[in-house]
Amino acid sequence: KAGVTQTPRYLIKTRGQQVTLSCSPISGHRSVSWYQQTPGQGLQFLFEYFSETQRNKGNFPGRFSGRQFSNSRSEMNVSTLELGDSALYLCASSRQQNEKLFFGSGTQLSVL
């Protein structure tokens, strides 16, 4: 069974640009969560989608958005990038909410 797939693996952008990250969950998993990981803050919850609906959102500005498609694949978008957005963005999937999460390898975003 394929694991959680995130693309791209690495991304370099400049301030003010926007970026879209993609996540394909494990087959049969309907919940997709996104996290931002930085050395100082650890894993910060961004949002969680279940059956194409955003069920939960963390404390991030509106520049961070996401969506989930009918096949459970998810994308997250960050607009007007700031230097502080440089981080590892991790996607995780689970069969249902509140179940164990399986993580992808992440997208390492660098904002210059």
* Positions that interact with other proteins (CB under 8 A): 33, 35, 41-43, 45, 48, 55-56, 58, 90, 97-106
Give the separation between CA 28 and CA 76, rounded to whole angstroms. Answer: 20
Report, in Å, the least distance between residue 94 CB and other proteins: 9
Comparing CB distances to other proteins, the nearer of 19 and 92 is: 92
| CB-CB contact of 110 with 12 (8 Å) | yes
Comparing CB distances to other proteins, the nearer of 20 and 103 is: 103
Report, in Å, the least distance between residue 80 CB and other proteins: 26
Report, in Å, the least distance between residue 48 CB and other proteins: 7
Nearest CA to 48 among 38, 34, 60?
A: 34
Beta strands of the chain (E only): which ranges? Answer: 5-7, 10-13, 19-24, 31-38, 42-50, 53-57, 64-68, 74-78, 87-94, 102-103, 107-111
Comparing CB distances to other proteins, the nearer of 19 and 47 is: 47
Comparing CB distances to other proteins, the nearer of 71 and 97 is: 97
